[in-house]
Structure 1
Amino acid sequence: MNCKRGDLAYIVVPPGFDRLLHGRIVEVGVEGECQIGTWPPPGQAAWLCRFPTPWFHQRTGTLVSVCWLVDSWLRPISGAPVHDEQPDEVTA
């Protein structure tokens, strides 16, 4: 699995799927209900994800803020700790 619950991730959509999702950032593993039907197909690892800004689903005409996304489409966002998160001195 690429992600774990609570991660922020960006979406990398394969060709043939809704390119409006490509590059969007989501929160992974949220509570709630998918707003655009029963997806993903059975047997695929997927997460219920929340978008910080809803997007317009053209096929259903719905504004979507929570939906299922396949794990292979998600790339977790990680980074080095900020200076404030590191101690300035080492205890001996």
Structure 2
Amino acid sequence: MKTTDRAALDDWYAVATAAELGQAPVVTRLLGQDIELCRDEAGAPVIREILNDGGRSRALPAQERYGCIWTTLGRPNKDIFDIAES
């Protein structure tokens, strides 16, 4: 069951490494919600919720940073936090 915690839904989460994501869909779970990840023809990450009827939602926000693919199930009011590189 997908969480209803607004603060959790509105945060960014790393859901895959950039290296493991290709054009073939990958299914994982975030905060109790099944999601499908892949890359479009231009190589950009595309993430969609898997609906109860097996359909797919509109594309969720997605970013590729720090070697990871990030998404949110809500509407974040801040960007992905900075990770200092050594």
With the length of structure 2 as denominator, give the TM-score of the two structures: 0.30
Q: Which structure has more strand as a fraction of its residues?
A: 2
The structure number with the bigger radius of gyration is 1
Q: Which structure has more helix as a fraction of its residues?
A: 1
With the length of structure 1 as denominator, give the TM-score of the two structures: 0.29
